[in-house]
A and B are shown apart, each in its own frame.
Chain A
Amino acid sequence: MRVSMRALVVFGAVMIPALAIAQGAPPAKAPAQKDYRTGYSRLARLPDWHGVWAPDWSTLFPRGAQRERPAGPQFTPAAAKKVADYRAGQAEGKNTQTDAANCVPPGMPSIMRMPYPIEFLFSPERVTIITETESQVRRIYTDGRPLPGDPDPSFNGSSVGHWEGNVLAVETIALNPRNSLTPGINATEQTRIVERFHEDKPGTIIVDTTIIDPTLFAQPYTTKQAYVRKPDWEIREYVCQENNRDAADQFGRPSMDIH
């Protein structure tokens, strides 16, 4: 033990200067660390969404209400063919499962449509959404920064937001091409999502989500999602790999390990 500790110390002594050399001189314009403490007082001007909110489809689909049939997404011809192929696969027993069956996070926009709650955290110049589904985090920067120029794709994408009165407007780009936008249609490099969060009535948040991608949709595709406040709920841990017995194969066909 003593020997290995000494070895570590020696290793560290070698490595630290090596790293310093590798990194070179600090950048000429290191961004100054902001003092965020002063920003907390400004949070009082924002609506209070602190806490846990559960998705609520009864708000969108009231019992007994007459159901209109607004148009679904209007696909480009290329996307329409993809959807037709996907449906044809389903008729053969394929594509009945998604990547989620293999514990891949759904990413945006699906992460906001899961049957599990979300939690809002407000801090200066930022809104954080924690989703119970897959224990994911969305970081929405509201400090006025532009969207990054060429970010790596990610499941939840890169998001910036701003407040328009009591409405939180969020723009998200750089989605992982594995993310499903609608059944059979995945995100592309051109996919952009615009969300508008507002408290429709006390305790109910409505999110209008518009997906823009000229390669997929002939016109922007807007959907609506409702969340209701759950003052007595806490977000639970959700680690899908804990005991996943329902893996899907490469064709999206299901399984269930009964052993």
Chain B
Amino acid sequence: MCRLVAAGSLALAALALSAPLAAHHSTAMFEWGKEVKIPEATVERWDWTNPHTFLYVQVPNDSGGTDRWAFEGMSPSHLARNGWSRKSVVPGQKIALTYYALKDGRKGGFNVTITFPDGKKIAQLPQAMP
């Protein structure tokens, strides 16, 4: 929510109303808004921590192995009030995910959605849900 509101409020910053601030950091390091999909990933670790959650996954690469990718997420404060928990994602789980890429090209970014094999989908940001 912090990012969402902060991004949406830029145009309103001139208003003499308190524009919300990013609680921790801005979205400048991400290709914010350009959603990229990873159709197949295996959960390695799920950090339910402040100021951000972190999701680490193994993703198949072109040479037959896997690469480790890291995705930042919203804080537990935000996610816990939107249906997530420290048990939402479990190591070993197969998932599909979408993300906003890091601008520097490293294997990581900001997680947007996670889709489980049964089709259930959870979203970090409210506008990411259909």
- A residues neighboring B (CB under 8 Å): 55, 57, 60-61, 67-72, 96-98, 100-101, 103, 106, 110, 112-116, 132-133, 209, 221-225, 233, 236-240, 242-246, 248, 254-256, 258-259
- B residues neighboring A (CB under 8 Å): 1-2, 5-6, 9, 12-26, 28-29, 47, 49-52, 54, 69-70, 72, 75-78, 80-81, 102, 106-108
Residue contact A96 to B23, C-beta cutoff 8 Å? no
Residue contact A61 to B80, C-beta cutoff 8 Å? no
Q: Which residues of A contact B80 (CB under 8 A)?
A: 236
A221 to chain B, nearest CB (A): 8
B62 to chain A, nearest CB (A): 20
Residue contact B50 to A240, C-beta cutoff 8 Å? yes
Residue contact B77 to A236, C-beta cutoff 8 Å? yes
- State which of B25, B72, B78 has its C-beta within 8 Å of the C-beta of A248: B25
- Ranked nearest first, the 6 interchain pairs of A and B with the lowest CB-CB distance are A243-B49, A258-B70, A96-B28, A101-B25, A115-B2, A258-B108
What's the dominant secondary structure at chain A's contact region?
loop
Kindly list 5 other residue pairs between chains A and B, CB separation below 8 angstroms, not including A68-B15, A133-B23, A238-B51: A103-B51, A238-B77, A240-B51, A246-B29, A256-B106
Residue contact A246 to B72, C-beta cutoff 8 Å? yes
Residue contact A242 to B24, C-beta cutoff 8 Å? no
A104 to chain B, nearest CB (A): 11
Q: Which residues of B contact A98 (CB under 8 A)?
A: 22, 25-26
Q: Which residues of B contact A259 (CB under 8 A)?
A: 70
Complex Cα spacing A243 to B15, Å: 34
Q: Which residues of A contact B107 (CB under 8 A)?
A: 258
Residue contact A60 to B23, C-beta cutoff 8 Å? no
A91 to chain B, nearest CB (A): 12
Q: Which of A97, A244, A256: most chain B Cβ within 10 A?
A: A256
Q: Which residues of A contact B5 (CB under 8 A)?
A: 57, 115
Residue contact B20 to A115, C-beta cutoff 8 Å? yes
Complex Cα spacing A135 to B17, Å: 24
Residue contact B54 to A236, C-beta cutoff 8 Å? no
Q: Which residues of A contact B47 (CB under 8 A)?
A: 243
